[in-house]
Amino acid sequence: MPTINFNEQNIHYTLRLDKRRKNIQLRVLPTATVEIIAPGKLTSAEIEHIFTAKSRWLTGRLNKLSSLAANPVNQQLVSGAQLLYKGEPHTLTVLSGNSKPEVVLKPAEVIVKLPINNTEAAPVFMTEQIVKAWLIDQAGKLFLDKTKDWAAVIGVRPVRITIKDQKTRWGSCSSLGNINYNWRIIMAPPRVADYLIIHELCHMLVPNHSVKFWEQVSRFSPDYQECRKWLTDNGKLLSRIL
């Protein structure tokens, strides 16, 4: 894989040709590899120019990846690891010998009880399945109650509320009044969860992202810009596991 010296470090990059494109696009992959998507072949000089022109953007993306890699939260699901829940890191404790799968929430701790006699012999996916099912269940309870509360405040009536497993969207509201939430938001701070609920409910008033829409959002979530920034800065952290 070719490399380029960028900000005094060697960065791997790939070049993917797409004749349908009119412009050059850059993507920073989770591996810190830069993918260049171009309509035709590029010379080494042209690639260097692209890196120079996008220097500020690339530096920001690479720094975020570096910070994410250094953050111990949501790295893995084993005893002693850190799991984000409602915006706070919780230490994960995995125990064996329980009659059935169970998750117990304590202050700053999430205890996972496995239906197996030896935690070392338990496959990792067993812990992952139990934790994911618990988080989805917690998200369902939280979002159902909060959506009803905020709907009454905003003055709308959603038809259906669904918890979904999505990697790229936090929520959505259909023209029929059906609202979907990404269960991973259960890991975000409560004020961010409230913002997302308000955001989707306000789409029942204004079905677009016009100035009028954001005016409605700001009525009920004055700090919505800070919440949006939190999701932008921490979105990959929420999706890193499960």
CA distance 242 to 157: 32
pLDDT the model gives residue 197:
97
For the stretch 144-165, pLDDT in tens is 999 999 999 999 999 999 999 9
What confidence tier does 207 reach under pLDDT thresholds 50, 70, 90? very high
For the stretch 169-190, pLDDT in tens is 999 999 999 999 999 999 999 9
Does residue 65 contact residue 97 with C-beta atoms inside 8 Å? no
The residue type found at 22 is K
pLDDT at residue 4 is higher than 60 = yes
pLDDT at residue 116 is higher than 80 = no
Class of domain 82-238: alpha beta
From the list 154, 221, 151, 156, the residue with the least C-alpha distance to 189 is 221
CA distance 205 to 212: 10
**Hey, is 168 helix, strand or coil?**
coil
Is pTM beyond 0.85? Reply is: no
In this structure, what token pair is assigned to residue 86? 């409602």
Does residue 187 contact residue 86 with C-beta atoms inside 8 Å? yes
In this structure, what token pair is assigned to residue 139? 């998200």
Burial (CB count within 10 angstroms: exposed 0-12, middle 13-18, buried 19+), residue 239: middle
Q: Per-domain residue ranges for the chain?
A: 3-70, 82-238
C-alpha torsion 80→106→228→160, nearest 10: 120
Does residue 197 contact residue 139 with C-beta atoms inside 8 Å? no
CA distance 198 to 153: 10
* Mean pLDDT score, 80-108: 92
For the chain, what is the mean pLDDT?
91
What confidence tier does 62 reach under pLDDT thresholds 50, 70, 90? confident
Does residue 90 contact residue 98 with C-beta atoms inside 8 Å? no
